[in-house]
Amino acid sequence: MAIRSIARGCGAYLPERIVTNAELAAKVDTTDEWIQARTGIKQRHIAADGQLTSDLAVHAANRAMEMAGVEGKDIDLIVLATATPDHTFPSTATTVQAAIGMSGGAAFDVQAVCSGFIFALATADNFIKAGQCKRALVIGAETFSRILDWEDRTTCVLFGDGAGAIVLEASEGEGPDAQGILSTHLHSDGRFKEMLYVDGGPSSTQTVGHLRMQGREVFKHAVTNLSNVVLEALEANGLEADAIDWLVPHQANQRIISGAARKLKMDTAKVVTTVSSHANTSAASVPLALNVAVQDGRIKFGDLLLLEAMGGGFTWGASLLRW
Ligand code: ACO
């Protein structure tokens, strides 16, 4: 029997402060109507002054470990996806490691922007399948509010802060009916860097910089790339779209989510959407959405989930996971 990574628990955390579209409209030239019609976003959570990405991540990790019935000492790998780390170094993952009382094993960050959680999940899954760890904490955590240009209405209305986490554990299983991660599929194409990037960084400007984006171009690539990677994941497992119980997509824009669901001919009732209340939380968006649907009872033991995301780089990926 092959080693398989099964999900033992999940958790999430959103900062207390909610910023509505109306609040943003008082600061930049935008309206609640424009934001809702173009994106589906109604509000976003914004981290308090001094509240760091690692703080959000630790809350989410603790909740995921509680659901899994494990403690920090039981974890032997942390893979944390973020594009907004606390510091240039050390990794945010090692800060979380210390905070949850995990002293052994390894902890590191991965950087694939909005696809970060799928990249982190794939990394942890492969470590588990290679026998290099037994129980991994996979976290997506972001404070995108810190890299937004709050005077640029084309980007500042789109993003929010938050964190989500999942505990994976080595088990045994084979085939699409067994619990756990069936497969992960990752892609990147560095030729499109200029369409979505941050105009700062330690090596280039010695500043943090701000997010810059050609929204319409990103939108087109997102719909195509996501459709392709979702089909790739289904094909790799010999499954049809109707086998999916829940689509848990990256929450960038309601129109991108609906486009992906339409291509799969999926009933919108089977699509988990949180973009209206969380906005785009980058690497945190998939585990935040997953956690909402697990906590409210929609996702049940044995359900087949399709996770997908696309982000700067470009990077994109998908995973089929039997909960
Ligand atoms: N309020 C009011 N008007 C605005 C705003 C705003 N916040 N932002 C832009 N506009 C204006 C533009 O200036 C433009 O005006 P013009 O016609 O006079 O020039 C008009 O609205 C239309 O702008 P577009 O950019 O063409 O609008 P579009 O329908 O493409 O929507 C959006 C923009 C929402 C950014 C969309 O392109 C999108 O969602 N793209 C995907 C980007 C994304 O989600 N990126 C996240 C990271 S990658 C990922 O997660 C997939």
CB atoms within 10 A of CB 131: 9
Do 215 and 250 lie in a common domain?
yes
C-beta separation of 145 from 21 below 8 A: no
* CA–centroid distance, residue 33 to ligand 1 (Å): 13
Do 188 and 300 lie in a common domain?
yes
pLDDT band at 203 (very low <50, low <70, confident <90, very high): very high
pLDDT tens column, 36-69: 999 999 999 999 999 999 999 999 999 999 999 9
Q: Which domain holds residue 159?
A: 3-172
pLDDT tens column, 216-259: 999 999 989 999 999 999 999 999 999 999 999 999 999 999 98
pLDDT tens column, 93-147: 999 999 999 989 999 999 999 999 999 999 999 999 999 999 999 999 999 999 9
- Give, for ligand 1, the residue of 31, 32, 35, 38 to mutate: max count of ligand atoms closer than 8 Å to Cβ: 38
Residue 35 pLDDT exceeds 90? yes
Q: Is 280 in the pocket of ligand 1 (CB under 6 A)?
A: yes
Residue 279 maps to which CATH number? 3.40.47.10
* CA–centroid distance, residue 112 to ligand 1 (Å): 22
Supply the pLDDT for residue 57: 99
CA distances to 22, 29, 133, 283 from 86, in Å: 29, 31, 26, 15
Instruction: State the total domains in the chain.
Output: 2
Q: Which of 149, 172, 195 is the last residue before a domain boundary?
A: 172
Which one of the listed residues 21, 225, 253, 280 is annotated catalytic? 280
Do 25 and 44 lie in a common domain?
yes
Q: Is 252 in the pocket of ligand 1 (CB under 6 A)?
A: yes
Do 146 and 242 lie in a common domain?
no
3-state SS of 38-76 is HHCCCEEEECCCCCCHHHHHHHHHHHHHHHHCCCHHHCC
pLDDT tens column, 20-30: 999 999 999 99
Do 194 and 248 lie in a common domain?
yes
Q: Which of 139, 172, 205 is the last residue before a domain boundary?
A: 172
Do 14 and 163 lie in a common domain?
yes
Do 75 and 114 lie in a common domain?
yes
Supply the pLDDT for residue 264: 85
Do 23 and 137 lie in a common domain?
yes
Q: Is 280 in the active site?
A: yes
pLDDT tens column, 70-99: 999 999 999 999 999 999 999 999 999 999
Output the residue whose Cα is nearest ligand 1's atom 29: 38
Do 203 and 186 lie in a common domain?
yes
CA distances to 70, 234, 278, 309, 322 from 229, in Å: 33, 9, 24, 9, 18
Do 168 and 270 lie in a common domain?
no
Q: Considering all CA atoms of the chain, what is the largest pairwise distance in Å, rounded to the nearest integer? A: 59
Rg (CA), the chain: 18
Q: Is 218 in the pocket of ligand 1 (CB under 6 A)?
A: yes
Residue 20 CB-density burial (10 A; 0-12 exposed, 13-18 middle, 19+ buried): middle
Residue with tokens 């399709």: 306
Residue 260 pLDDT exceeds 90? no
- Give, for ligand 1, the residue of 119, 253, 274 to mutate: max count of ligand atoms closer than 8 Å to Cβ: 253
Residue 308 pLDDT exceeds 90? yes
Supply the pLDDT for residue 222: 93
Do 20 and 155 lie in a common domain?
yes
CB atoms within 10 A of CB 132: 15
pTM of the model: 0.97
Q: Which of 117, 142, 172 is the last residue before a domain boundary?
A: 172
CB atoms within 10 A of CB 301: 7
Supply the pLDDT for residue 263: 85
Do 198 and 314 lie in a common domain?
yes
> 287 preceded by cis ω (within 30°)?
no
